[in-house]
Structure 1
Amino acid sequence: MNSSKKFPKQKNKSNLQLKKSIIFLDDEKTALVRPMRPTKKDYAGIARCYNSFKDSDSWPGGFGGTFTFTGEFIEEQLKDQDHSSLFIVVAPDNPDKIVGVSFCSRTWNLPDCWYVQLLGVDPAYQGQKLGKSLLLRSTQFALEKGARFISLHTWGGNLKAMPLYKRQGYKWRPNTSVYMENYLPLILNFPYFRGLFTKYSWYDTFQPKITQEQDEEFDEKMAIYEYYFKFDEYSSLKVWIDRTVGWISGFHYITEQEDLLIKTQTPNSEAFTGIETFPVTLTVANYGKKVQELAITTKSTDQLALDGETTHQIKLPSNKEQTINLTGSFLSDTDELDMKVHTHTYSDHTITFEISTDGFTFPIILGKVPLKAMKIHTTPKNFVAIPDQTLTIPFELCNYTGKQQEIEIKLEDGKKVLFNQHNFSTSVDPYDSKLEVPAKVLPTTSTADEINISMKTKDGKNLLKKKLPIIIFRNNKAVSYELDQQLFLENKNVRVSLYRKSQPGSNELVIFEKTRGLKICGNPLILGYPFDEDGSEFYSTKLDHQILETEEGLWIASSAVSKEKAGVKVTRKLFIPNDNEPLGLQYSLENLSDKAVTDLGILCTSYWWPNPLNPVNVIIPFKEGIKQSSLYELGINLGKDPSDLKEGWKAINYSRGTLGFLFNQEVIEKIGIGERFPSIEFKIPELQPNQTFDLTPLWFTFTDSWQAVRKQWQDKYHYSPANELDHFLSAENMKKIGLIDEQSQDQICKGLILDRNQKKIQIILDAFRKTTFEGAMTVNFTKMKSKPKNLPISITDSKQWVETIKINPSGRKISSGTITFDTKTRVYEESIALGFYNSSKEVTINKCSNNQETYLEVDNGFLKFRGSKDYRGQIFYLSVEGSKNYLLTHYPEVKAFLWYNKFYGGIGGVISPVDQRGNPEEEFNKLNFTAFEIEKDPWKGIGFMSEIMDYLPAIKGAQQITNFLTLPDAPFILVQQEITNHSEVTRTFNANLTANLVTSNNDKDRYYLKTKKSGIATFQTQDYGSQAWREELDSKWAAFKKEGNKFIMGAVIGKSNYQESIYTYSPNLSIIRLGRSVTNIKIPAKETVRLNVLYLLTKDLTTIEPFTKSNLVSLLKD
């Protein structure tokens, strides 16, 4: 089989015929698979199939939750799509019944690759190999399209499906949750051994490694995948894929007559730019009987320098091998690619060996990943100054070499920013350092100035040269600048960023509102009809960007010419105002061809991720009136008809503010009303040659209420002096009531943790200023041997009233009650609780072992728990009064579960950078911990300290200590998450602490949360949606009761300086989590932050909430 063209650019007819001759598994089940048809019958059949996907093992929470799919809904979703890549399988016993689907699209970031969006089979028909046949057809489709690979996402706990995927060539890409890529289309189409797969079935000869683990394969430190085929006694094929670039880097081809190995290698896939050289080899070995002659030409991409001969003519007799040796290096100005962060991205930097032999020409490709040894940026990166000012500009020096470095830095003045000193010799700590430079900002209008920075080693090697912006705001004016491959436009209120160079997702916009921390992402160029949201041709296209300045603000126009709609130029224009007005988004289409173009449309679609906030509610102006709802109550079956709306706006309320969308509903074709951020479709009339069509603008706004969003829409589209804005205000109570104890006189509590030998507490009535207290105070503790206290109050000109009362614990661990102040005009009432420990008893700590695993056991006389340094520094066992373990755990084993690569269970914490790209938890799981005993009178327990982290740039120098403390004979476990920043710069983290609890696996389990409107809400464990609307909840506590357990387990947090909340997570009957999340924790250099969560065991649900305002802090004397 000969080929004169270079792979993979083989698209002529003969090659397509060759593809069809490749042997695929063909049995009675594959005959049941076909592309879907755009008919009412198929739409209804797919809806029925979707509704059958209720298997919680395959679909956590069920597919679509409680939503019921209809044929009409499916038609609306699929009618405009390319149906040739949407495959269905019919039942073996009923050809009219659709029982499975496999829907494919191009990958969003690589135009020559395909992605399985959805794969599922009706549970009643599982086990009949229908999913296997669907997936095989999808792989065959990718092969026919000349794809490099086909990929999909699943989850680590999908035990049934993982062998199916790996058996068909899918590899679990390391450090992802869980992204799988299959390079069989590339291998089967490879010119040199394509002929083998026309003789042998690849499926029958493929020898996969089937595990539930990531396919973390290496050749030394070169990241690879290995594929092996055993054809017969004499024939086999081994292929290596360089997974940094997704191309074949070598193969070993053996037949009865031929035995040829060609393989390129480098010791490490990564290399530092500017200062590091690395070896590259190509080994050619002939172990066969005939002489092998090869012509080899070597080339590299622009920023990879190669030293060595680049052309070779090789003649290899039998049993001879030859190695081509080259030395490579990155130019110092090469942009970095950190694949630990960008886990789904592939390097653009390759060394290609183009090889011709036996009439075949094919590439063997090696990838290299550029890293910066050192970086420098201002702190914060988007540094803002004011004119006519003397200041100190802080620079963060980032060191990625793992050891202390001595460097030289040179700063050059900008036009408006002048430095007092320009040259620095400094030492940079392995965990980064800070350099503070005095500077002066000259008088100026608002602008973005640039300063030039260069960094060298002591021996003169260039580490980097770059420009850094200093944004100067005098008045609120939009400015533009570049930083780290990104283009920024911002005013005092908002910042917009996009990538200038071509890379995955490079044509998307990120709009960030600085005051409230709200964010809108997306709005890429998506041209239709039909719309390909998952594989738009522009997703990885380098766009042409132009900035236009007007009196009102800045416009950035980003454009590209379509290949699919030949000759149509698409331009997206974003407007950033000079004031705090809405941002505008407008598209235009221009026909550059000499023919009219039809079937044109634009899809405007935004998404919320990554956004640290969850929406409180959504407000929509329906024809029936303005409605508000939580996102999950809203549902998805709201249609896309803009005539359902009375006005053209939508608002999303967050705890920090409101995000609004403004549009003219009379000119849009469709709108995704039920989506969090509405997707809006425009249909464009036939576009004549040389004609341009401008779409009506959309607007984004950030404000404080949905009423403000509505008024801005009225002012944009229906201006009238009569437009008014309604304000709704709420006020805090002027008087407060509660409890205090001897150690917390300045803190009004609802819950007190007391030594049971203490016989008195104090109740308090407090006002924010001197006033009159007139009425009666009643204190009542249920199930305690103490009578209700009724205390008349009549005092004037006082800020506070305090009264001491006696209590009698009577052997109880925890007791609830109420405190009421009844005045002539209103009644103040609070729930209260007392929790007791016994200072006359001891908490014991013992060292134990289990199957050669050592752990520490803490016993307070009422409950006991166990933890281990080998278990990610967590506790894995909790027993109350001799009960079974309350915690869901896999100690001492660690198993894949849910969306995580490893599931530990138990109770423990994780920290991660704010920008959680990549999979930081997977790296956290690999840390080593040390264990210790701890005593903070009266608390006692165990703690686990991690090693200092360095696996992500944004987390370098961080260290976590988790303390698990308790009190003697008490129902409390206090978990403290201590985070220390050992670096010399400020770091910002998110922190999570989770208790994973055992369920009964039936629908009688319950968990509880408090809503802000209706009190305590009760949920079943499969009520998955409750997590997403947590900001409608009280967010300070949650609880769970397993059927058969004597005690309810509650999680409580108190007042915090951070954005902190308690949440629940229960995707199905098998797991419930009581967790605490904290976002945007800024920790200065060398400082420590401590976060507390109180877990308690109680039989009375009403005892939990009062401990959100407790004396816990006063008990922690340090």
Structure 2
Amino acid sequence: MTKIKETIQIVQYHDGLAKGIAKMWNLSRDSWGGDTRVMTEEQVKKKEANSDNIELYLAMDGEEIAGYCGLSEYKEDTGSLYIPLLNVRPDYHGEKIGKKLVLKALEKTIEMGWPRLDLYTWPGNTKAVPLYKKCGFFWEDRDDVTHLMNFIPQLINTPLLKPVFAELDWYDSSVRPIEVKPDGMKENGFTYYEYSWKNDGKFARVQVERTSRGISLIETDEFLLQIQMADHEIIEQVKQEFQIKFVNKTASPVSFKAAGSGNERVEYKVEKVLMVNDETIISEIVTVNPGEEPSAWKTHPHVSVNVWINGQECELKLGVFPVQPSKIEASYSGNLSFLNKVTSIDLEVKNNLKEDAEITIRIPEAEQVSLNNKEFSMNIPAGGRNTVSVPLTVKKHGFYQPVVEISAIKQDGFELKFEQELSVAFKGLGEKFGGETKDFWHIFNGLCQVKIRKRDLLMIAAKNNRKKQYLAFFPPKLGRPYSNEFTKKKPESVSWEVEDSSILLKIVQDSEEMQGLRLTQMVELYGDGIVQKWVEIENQSKEPHHDVAISSSIYHEQLERTYFPIDGQVIYFSENRFLEFGDIKPSSVTENWYFTESKPEPIGISWSTKTKAEPDGWQFSIEDEIGTLEPGDKSATEQITISIGAFKQWEDFRAFALESSSAEKMVTASELAFELNGVVAGPGSDFSAVLKTHRTSYLDGSLHVSVNEKELYKTVITTEEEKTSHSFGLDPKQFEPLSILEGKFTTAAMTTRLVELVLSPSGGVSYCSSTVAEFSTHEVTNGCITIKTAPNFYPGIFSVNVNGSEWLDTSFPEITAKSWWNPWAGGMKTVPSGLTAFSLMKEKNTAYHVEKLDLQGNTWSGLAVSTEINEHAQWKGVHYVQYYLMLPGVPLLVSFTEVKDNGGKNLSQESWNTDFFVSGTHLTDVSVNMTESQYTSKYRAGIEELPVALKTGSFISSESASERLYFVSDFYSDGPLAYTNKHAQQIMNPHSAMPGKNGMQTAPSFLVFDERALSARLLEKLRRIKF
């Protein structure tokens, strides 16, 4: 073999090498498409502790780790080991380290007696594919994956080939053509992979048939041995001939023996002993009985014959693809079915014969459906297909599984008769049932369904029938160390039970690697879209099992608009860049849930706080520690909950996961966060900002920060600094009263614009009182906004004047009637639900100047309007205060309500209504302006009656004022509404109290006055202000 760099040593993994492996991965990111994720020593230790690798080989150059190669048991098929991951550090490319690692894995496979070694790669991996092929791998020609198989271990361990490899080096003597494309010689539906060797006049070649994964031909200078058949695709229960051909190339007679017999699916028998002078052909009959359709992922049914040549043995194999004369697949295009309504199912009919045929399908009577026509005939060319629509009326929801009679009349008039079972699910609201198709086990409950793939026990939950789904659960792994044995092992039993509100699927499997342990997968499906999944385990052996653990893994691709609880915050990952689990630092997940607003419905996943859950590469793993199981002991994992559209908002799903009775609202942080240490930058305050990434990558780029379009700060951050966050100070003197702080972070790959809102108070707030028209009035001004109240006139504020322009419409000092309202005072107020203006005016209303501290310690000044209810029967005894607060010089008014005395009334479910009336010099001066609207963008007041939803970012303009009025509703708003008619423009905000406050306090809402266009994203940052 060619010489490999002598300083490279192949060693086995231990935890002491974890730091070096992390360094290797971080230096190898460009080899994996420019991945920017950062691997740590601790992550490596956790990953390898939970790995199902049999061995992990590392290429070491002194203290440096130059390469990585795992070796595990292949989970998709039997009879193979697998290289799950192979990597060589880029600065060691060209040193043949990859070759050395692959050959080491191959050597171990041979040593352990496994016949095959598999791996996956990607088609564009043009550097590695030639290496793989030179090391004995063949690239399987498939559309779904790039799968390579290596049969050298089988060949090396075949006694008949040992003399061959005594003279020919399987690596150096190879003359197999190496091309970067799928391999295989195709003949009569078979695909053959051919090895060939030549050296000093010595020659040998071996063919391996793809679907049997076995040797089908051996040719040397002494003989030719081959098993063959006319067609790979054969009709079930129809006798077919196969042949074993042997050619003796020597001058001496050869002892030849062949023996083999089939099984329940494949019936044949070979028993021959003879001496061969030159050539012999053995012909035998094989019949394949009905059974499961073979999968491209697994070894097919096959003929297997052991042959001895002069006493040296080899096994010949030839796979087949058994089919019926015609294949029929039934489908129903609808998601729900409706009783006693004519609909249809589609039957896709394929002619598997080698000639044209007339196919007739006869569908039997069934209680579940009513058929107009029970017989359908069609002429289909050889290998062709046709789709026929079958009209029917659904009489009963559930699995419709008729056994249909099929006849295929060939060109010579010969008729083949057979049966097939069709499977179609007719879902209905509230209907619970289970069923089985050729590929899946299913359970249904209303709109929702769960299916378990028979091939590998992959679980998929959805509300639709689409073949492509983005969320799946892998079968549980039992450990430690963990094993993938349950992906290949057929269940002992599968059953389902219908409960009152759910349907429960049970899958029972016995472990071979931990003898005596029986696992029962439990999947419970509720009609509202909730799926609960857990595992029950029992020790049926006579020996204890210690340190038992069970790991469940989630695969979830195209994670967009996703919320993850990270480092005590809720981080929002936008739809612009899909999230992968590997983007999240494992130790950073601080709560037991995540939620994605994906289409067609939002999905939430939660797990118990007793389990250990963390991202694990492209999977998300949830681990339960079972501990010791004595003989006869039973235990169970904690439940994993999947919400398929049952929760629409992440806050509600979070409350469910945390078992909280109320959903707390909070401002989310971005995946690349530009955060300030407060919203308010007071004079002389220590004000700072931080740029932070919540993905597992280092900051690498230039940062430019400006305030009100003036550059304030700039810097360059490099990967070598190994920073995931960068902090810097800001001088509050640079800010205006309401400043927009903009950041632009530019990397080699992308530019991200970041924005923050800063309130910078200056000056003071003054208060005065006076008497107007016999009403005691109170007035507060902060230098740009002046607000006024007259509590004996009406419990609210009647004036908001901004820089000389009045924004509120009021009747002060006289109560009047206007349009629908009588009495009408206008202005702005917050009142309990169900309390009318008449009732309010009967109660005791007072006002006073007030100062309040927010939770960050900033002082806000303004007016408090107090109402003590003594007359109204429903609200008697309740005392509440409305606050209207400002910061000095800042064009912003905050409003919230606090209950001082609930009068013994339970307020937790009550709602509050805030409203205010807007006007200019004339009502028609006022317009409601919608941002980001695809339709109408502006509504003028005072023209016609119009109710309009007022989304954050929309604003009110007045021809009487230069500023815009932005209303930012509180977190618990039902959605503000702008209502106008010929007489008034009203803004209404129905809302509830803050959870956890027992109905005693509402969250703040804000009136912002500014000439600039302020986005919803910017304005929503005000909701971080709390009192």
TM-score by length of 2: 0.61
Partner of 2:560: 616
Q: How far apart are residue 622 of structure 1 and its match?
A: 4.1
Tell whether the 8 Å contact from 1:301 to 1:351 is kept in structure 2 after alignment: no
Q: In the TM superposition, what whole-angstrom CA distance separates every residue of 1:30-87 from its partner, at most 9, and x where no partner exists?
A: 78332333233x11111222122144xxx2522xx11222222212211343665211
Whether 2:260 is the aligned partner of 1:311: answer: no
C-alpha separation between the residues in 1 aligned to 2:296 and 2:537?
A: 34
Could you say what secondary structure the match of 1:599 adopts?
Answer: strand
Tell whether the 8 Å contact from 1:282 to 1:323 is kept in structure 2 after alignment: yes
CA 1:661–1:559: 2 relative to 1, 3 Å: same
C-alpha separation between the residues in 2 aligned to 1:828 and 1:315?
A: 105
Tell whether the 8 Å contact from 2:76 to 2:487 is kept in structure 1 after alignment: no
Letter in 1 for 2:46: E
Tell whether the 8 Å contact from 1:518 to 1:659 is kept in structure 2 after alignment: no
Could you say what secondary structure the match of 2:131 adopts?
Answer: helix
CA 1:418–1:452: 2 relative to 1, 3 Å: farther
Tell whether the 8 Å contact from 1:604 to 1:679 is kept in structure 2 after alignment: yes
Whether 2:463 is the aligned partner of 1:513: answer: yes
Alignment of 1:776-855 (within 5 A): 824=959
C-alpha separation between the residues in 1 aligned to 2:78 and 2:194?
A: 24
Letter in 2 for 1:326: E
Q: How far apart are residue 574 of structure 1 and its match?
A: 0.7
Partner of 1:208: 176
CA 1:637–1:292: 2 relative to 1, 3 Å: same
Q: In the TM superposition, what whole-angstrom CA distance separates every residue of 1:880-902 from its partner, at most 9, and x where no partner exists?
A: xxxxxxxxxxxxxxxxxxxxxxx
Partner of 1:592: 540
Of 696, 699, 710, which residue of structure 1 is paired with 2:638?
696
Of 238, 248, 260, which residue of structure 2 is paired with 1:298?
260
Partner of 1:522: 473
CA 1:168–1:360: 2 relative to 1, 3 Å: same
Tell whether the 8 Å contact from 2:168 to 2:198 is kept in structure 1 after alignment: no
Whether 2:314 is the aligned partner of 1:346: answer: no
Q: How far apart are residue 583 of structure 1 and its match?
A: 0.8
Of 602, 622, 625, which residue of structure 2 is paired with 1:680?
622
Whether 2:273 is the aligned partner of 1:321: answer: no
Between the two proteins, what is the percent identity of the paired residues? 18
Unaligned runs of 5+ in 1: 1-24, 729-770, 778-792, 800-819, 830-1011, 1016-1118
Tell whether the 8 Å contact from 1:545 to 1:557 is kept in structure 2 after alignment: yes
Tell whether the 8 Å contact from 2:333 to 2:345 is kept in structure 1 after alignment: no
Partner of 1:651: 595
Of 292, 295, 298, which residue of structure 2 is paired with 1:335?
292
Of 402, 412, 415, which residue of structure 2 is paired with 1:451?
402
Tell whether the 8 Å contact from 2:363 to 2:405 is kept in structure 1 after alignment: yes
Alpha-carbon RMSD across the aligned residues, in angstroms, is 4.0
C-alpha separation between the residues in 2 aligned to 1:603 and 1:547?
A: 23
C-alpha separation between the residues in 1 aligned to 2:315 and 2:961?
A: 83
C-alpha separation between the residues in 1 aligned to 2:580 and 2:220?
A: 58
Of 65, 72, 79, which residue of structure 1 is paired with 2:42?
72
Of 614, 619, 643, which residue of structure 2 is paired with 1:671?
614
Partner of 1:711: 652
C-alpha separation between the residues in 2 aligned to 1:336 and 1:637?
A: 39
Q: In the TM superposition, what whole-angstrom CA distance separates every residue of 1:690-739 from its partner, at most 9, and x where no partner exists?
A: 111111211111127563x553564576364x5689999xxxxxxxxxxx
Of 34, 38, 43, which residue of structure 1 is paired with 2:18?
43
Could you say what secondary structure the match of 2:84 adopts?
Answer: strand
Partner of 1:556: 505
Q: How far apart are residue 365 of structure 1 and its match?
A: 0.8
Whether 2:214 is the aligned partner of 1:247: answer: yes
Q: How far apart are residue 286 of structure 1 and its match?
A: 1.0
C-alpha separation between the residues in 2 aligned to 1:434 and 1:488?
A: 25
Could you say what secondary structure the match of 1:203 adopts?
Answer: coil
Alignment of 1:959-978 (within 5 A): none
CA 1:706–1:295: 2 relative to 1, 3 Å: same
Alignment of 1:478-493 (within 5 A): 478-493=432-447
C-alpha separation between the residues in 2 aligned to 1:711 and 1:608?
A: 21
Partner of 2:740: none
Partner of 1:356: 308
Partner of 2:518: 569
Q: In the TM superposition, what whole-angstrom CA distance separates every residue of 1:901-924 from its partner, at most 9, and x where no partner exists?
A: xxxxxxxxxxxxxxxxxxxxxxxx
Q: In the TM superposition, what whole-angstrom CA distance separates every residue of 1:466-488 from its partner, at most 9, and x where no partner exists?
A: 22345455541321112224221
Tell whether the 8 Å contact from 1:29 to 1:133 is kept in structure 2 after alignment: no
Alignment of 1:95-114 (within 5 A): 95-114=62-81
Tell whether the 8 Å contact from 2:925 to 2:960 is kept in structure 1 after alignment: no
Partner of 1:1055: none
Of 222, 225, 236, which residue of structure 1 is paired with 2:190?
222
Could you say what secondary structure the match of 2:108 adopts?
Answer: helix
C-alpha separation between the residues in 2 aligned to 1:604 and 1:345?
A: 23
Letter in 2 for 1:311: E
Of 159, 170, 182, which residue of structure 1 is paired with 2:126?
159
Tell whether the 8 Å contact from 1:493 to 1:515 is kept in structure 2 after alignment: no
Tell whether the 8 Å contact from 2:137 to 2:149 is kept in structure 1 after alignment: yes
Alignment of 1:140-539 (within 5 A): 140-176=107-143, 177-198=145-166, 200-219=168-187, 221-233=189-201, 235-254=202-221, 259-273=222-236, 278-306=240-268, 310-317=270-277, 320-331=278-289, 333-337=290-294, 343-347=296-300, 349-380=301-332, 385-389=337-341, 391-399=343-351, 405-428=357-380, 432-442=385-395, 446-458=397-409, 459=413, 461-462=415-416, 464-473=418-427, 475-500=429-454, 503=455, 505=456, 507-514=457-464, 519-532=470-483, 535-539=484-488
Alignment of 1:20-99 (within 5 A): 29=5, 32-40=8-16, 42-55=17-30, 59-62=31-34, 65-81=35-51, 85-91=55-61, 95-99=62-66
Tell whether the 8 Å contact from 1:294 to 1:357 is kept in structure 2 after alignment: yes
Could you say what secondary structure the match of 1:124 adopts?
Answer: helix
Letter in 1 for 2:331: T
C-alpha separation between the residues in 1 aligned to 2:32 and 2:342?
A: 57
Partner of 1:741: none
Could you say what secondary structure the match of 1:685 adopts?
Answer: strand
C-alpha separation between the residues in 2 aligned to 1:373 and 1:827?
A: 81
CA 1:322–1:596: 2 relative to 1, 3 Å: same
Alignment of 1:824-903 (within 5 A): 824=959
Q: How far apart are residue 385 of structure 1 and its match?
A: 3.6
Could you say what secondary structure the match of 1:547 adopts?
Answer: strand
Q: How far apart are residue 131 of structure 1 and its match?
A: 1.9
Letter in 2 for 1:164: L
Partner of 1:946: none
C-alpha separation between the residues in 2 aligned to 1:453 and 1:633?
A: 47
Q: In the TM superposition, what whole-angstrom CA distance separates every residue of 1:387-420 from its partner, at most 9, and x where no partner exists?
A: 4455555434344558764222211122332434
Tell whether the 8 Å contact from 2:325 to 2:416 is kept in structure 1 after alignment: no
Tell whether the 8 Å contact from 1:142 to 1:149 is kept in structure 2 after alignment: yes
C-alpha separation between the residues in 2 aligned to 1:156 and 1:394?
A: 36
Q: Select the structure with the greater relative contact order (CA < 8 A; seq sep ≥ 6).
A: 1
Of 547, 550, 555, which residue of structure 1 is paired with 2:496?
547
Could you say what secondary structure the match of 2:154 adopts?
Answer: helix
Tell whether the 8 Å contact from 1:352 to 1:365 is kept in structure 2 after alignment: yes
Could you say what secondary structure the match of 2:327 adopts?
Answer: strand
Letter in 1 for 2:11: P
CA 1:571–1:315: 2 relative to 1, 3 Å: same
C-alpha separation between the residues in 1 aligned to 2:95 and 2:324?
A: 51
C-alpha separation between the residues in 2 aligned to 1:725 and 1:468?
A: 50
Tell whether the 8 Å contact from 2:240 to 2:287 is kept in structure 1 after alignment: yes
Select the structure of larger CA radius of gyration: 2
Letter in 2 for 1:346: T
C-alpha separation between the residues in 1 aligned to 2:205 and 2:59?
A: 33
C-alpha separation between the residues in 2 aligned to 1:231 and 1:621?
A: 63
Tell whether the 8 Å contact from 1:336 to 1:372 is kept in structure 2 after alignment: no
C-alpha separation between the residues in 2 aligned to 1:773 and 1:209?
A: 82
